[in-house]
Copies of this chain bind each other. A is one copy, B any other.
Amino acid sequence: MRVSLKDVAEHAGVSIKTVSNVVNNYPHVTPAMRARVQEAIDELGYRPNLTARHLRKGRTGIIALAVPELGNPYFAELAGAVIDAAAEHEFTVLLDHTRGDREQEVLVSQGFRANVIDGLILSPLELEDEDLRSRTGDVPLVLLGERQYELPYDHIAIDNVSAARSAVRHLLSRGRSRIAYLGARTDSANRPAHLRLAGWREELTEAGVSAPDELVVPVGGWDRDEGARAMARLLDSGVRPDAVFAYNDLVAIGAMRVLHERGLRVPWDVAVVGFDDIEEGRFGAVTLTTISPDKQAIARMAVASLLRSLSGRTEPGGRELTADFTLVERESTLGRR
């Protein structure tokens, strides 16, 4: 049987309030009383019922994190960082994945476990402004990823254009001039994909290097398989780049696999830069040069933003918070032999 505050109170011969005071470390309790109550607590093995506390306080100490796919190491690593950041404030994390499906994302944004969660961190892939505009839930929300929502929700991003430009600049500095961008997807709302493409184009243009359409390669998704497929299609079409800037590390890894199969050597024949800096890129026959977003910072900022909303700040959200990134140079972009 569960033992409640009342049981402890009776056992100690005091009121419920007093026990509650002890449990909550209320300062104005005489040491003697505290000891007496504590003894009763220990004897009965009392453990507070968090659900009741939640109901009473209207807070649960739980925040939810919804990412497209845990199988994508970037999101898994990010989730780990969020769990840690949340734990620092004694919050626990409820995890869900949306499969990058717009409908799922809408569902989650609307009212995923309302009342059970104090806030929601959502990393959308396909969610549109309008989906959020009609949002009814009152749960604080913060969005991950650079998106231009004109809405009262904070979002945490890195400067994708600038990051893409660094990647391309790095390739140019390595003497590459036919740099393909692997990650175009016209049918997707995914803004980072468009921004990275924009950065690719800007940097090339500014450097006076041509950016022909044939080097803009569409992908069907953001994983290794799709990266491989896209790379194969590009090569099959007879286009021969001397470098590839991929939407993310997974796409880059898929592309590298195909390059390898086709006998093209990375970095000698084709240099490759990814995006995300997942652990996986540090290993493999050719380690992967990549843009490394500061995941810890992103996680911390997201949690902080939620905490801010919870603390009753009335200022509307809608801030655009920017996390840092760095370019991590590895073997996939070493100079030519």
A residues with CB within 8 A of B: 2, 45, 47-52, 54-55, 60, 62, 69-71, 73, 76-77, 79-80, 83, 92-97, 111, 113-116, 136-138, 224, 228, 253-254, 256-257, 260, 279-280, 282-286
Contacts and interface: CB of A to CB of B under 8 A. Distances in A.
Contacts of A71: 73, 76-77, 80, 279
Oligomer: number of copies: 2
Contacts of A228: 283
Nearest to A255: B283
B282 A284 contact: no
A70 B62 contact: no
A49 B94 contact: no
A60 B70 contact: no
A49 B115 CA distance: 6
A2 B256 CA distance: 53
Given A51-B51, A116-B50, A279-B224, A77 B70 contact: yes
A285 B283 contact: no
A76 B70 contact: yes
A145 B76 CA distance: 21
Contacts of A60: 51, 116
A50 B92 contact: no
21 contacts: A47-B114, A50-B113, A50-B114, A50-B116, A51-B54, A54-B55, A62-B113, A69-B80, A73-B73, A73-B280, A80-B97, A83-B96, A92-B113, A93-B95, A93-B96, A94-B94, A95-B95, A224-B282, A253-B284, A260-B285, A284-B285
A100 to B, nearest CB: 13
A110 to B, nearest CB: 10
Contacts of A92: 94, 96, 113, 116
Contact of A51 (B2, B80, B116): B116
A115 to B, nearest CB: 4
A286 B286 CA distance: 11
Contact of A70 (B69, B79, B94, B137): B79
- Which of A51, A54, A96 has the most C-beta atoms of chain B within 10 angstroms of its own C-beta? A51
A69 to B, nearest CB: 7
Contacts of A54: 51, 54-55, 116
A113 B283 CA distance: 37
A94 B97 CA distance: 12
A285 to B, nearest CB: 4
